[in-house]
Amino acid sequence: MLFELINNFSNQYQFNTIEIKKIILKVTTNEDQQIQSINLILSTDSHLNNLKKQYFQKDHYTDVIAFNLEDDDDLIDGEIYISMDRIIDNANKFNCNLNTELKRIIIHGLLHLIGYDDSNEEEKKLMTNLENFYMSECSQPIII
């Protein structure tokens, strides 16, 4: 598996890429998926808002955007863009720590790459249940 963490947000945080890889492998293995390559790009509200406008014609902040780059039935090849601004705000809003919120959003982005959607209440409930399951399986910190 090729994995790269690209931190375009700040040098304020250090990330444990070994634990992030473990999360990726746990989710994809349990979902019976294989990975060719995943880039995890940590960025800002402004950057993700621009992506949202450009690719989805929506103008609002979002915490994560996942892009599938693979052809059908190929190994997972994708990019997960995460707004650290949203992670920080959500951690405060939901009264959890940054590790917890960042893990949840990484898992959420992975589930999108695998093919899960959250465009209706039933899909959102399934994704939330899967996020909770994988959160319970991945307890090590990813921000060090």
Residue 15 lies in a domain: yes
**What's the pTM value of the predicted model, to 2 decimals?**
0.95
CA distance 64 to 114: 15
Mean pLDDT of 133-144: 93
Token pair belonging to 32: 């019976």
Q: What is the mean pLDDT of the chain?
A: 95
pLDDT, tens only, 78-95: 999 999 999 999 999 999
Residue 143 lies in a domain: no
The domain tally of the chain equals 1
Domain carrying residue 27? 2-137
Residue 142 lies in a domain: no
Residue 132 lies in a domain: yes
CATH number, domain with residue 83: 3.40.390.30
Q: Looking at residue 101, what DSSP letter applies?
A: H
pLDDT, tens only, 55-76: 999 999 999 999 999 877 789 9
Residue 21 lies in a domain: yes
Mean pLDDT of 134-138: 94
